[in-house]
Amino acid sequence: MKKTLFTLAALACCMVGTWVASSCTEKENKNSNDATAQHEYVDLALPSGTLWATCNVGAEKPEELGYHVAWGEVAEKDTCGWGNYKWCEGTLDTMNKYCVESKRGTVDGLSELEPEDDAAIAFWGNEWKTPTMDQLLELSDSTLCTWTWTTLNEVPGYQVTSKKNGKSLFLPAAGYIGDKAIEVGEDGYYWSTTLYDEGAFIVGFDANQVYKYGSYRCYGQSVRAVRAKK
């Protein structure tokens, strides 16, 4: 697992199996003029009412890896690092947007992604967004959902199952992009919209644990979009 900032918690995950996709998802809009019509969601009966997409942004099936984007960027890159990160001048200490500490650059006080910098909105339309830290914390709350390491069509990842209604989604171990694609099939890293310490909050995992921490925002990582219940 790559270098991270500060770990909030780790959830021990010992269940292993092979997941067969179920028909627990719903089409949210059949209007071909609506960008959301292309994408399915699942209602896990979470307290917030958040509806989670059934595949990653950039994917068409749950097991597909989808796009890897740096935090606050809306395009894929072959390599990702501070040298080509959009919101700095080449280093961690030269941030020019989303900066809350003077030692890291020009302070603007922004700690949540603005809509124009949200990859979920950019690729899927305004009905979708990258989840907040609170929404990712809710999804990874062991009192609400069970996380089971498994495979879907030979792709490793986690089946996340609601303890309230039994519906589930699959998060592939998509790895991340640094100077190349790294840890694909071994680890997953999923962005939130929220800054955390010197990075941005993510949920990350491997076969043994689910982690919640701040990750350097220059890496290319996965986005699992959410939308509100109407």
pLDDT digits (tens, 9 = 90+) for 76-92: 999 999 999 999 999 99
pLDDT tens by residue, 92-146: 999 999 999 999 999 999 999 999 999 999 999 999 999 999 999 999 999 999 9
Mean pLDDT rounded to a whole number for the chain: 87
**In the chain, what are the domain boundaries?**
7-227
Min mean pLDDT across 15-24, 63-72, 146-155 is at: 15-24
Q: Give residue 229's pLDDT band: very low, low, confident or very high (50, 70, 90).
A: confident
Question: What is the average pLDDT across 199-203?
Answer: 95
Q: Give residue 228's pLDDT band: very low, low, confident or very high (50, 70, 90).
A: confident
What are the Cα distances from residue 228, in Å, to 62, 127, 177?
20, 8, 29
pLDDT tens by residue, 163-181: 999 999 999 999 999 999 9
pLDDT tens by residue, 48-87: 999 999 999 999 999 999 999 999 999 999 999 999 999 9
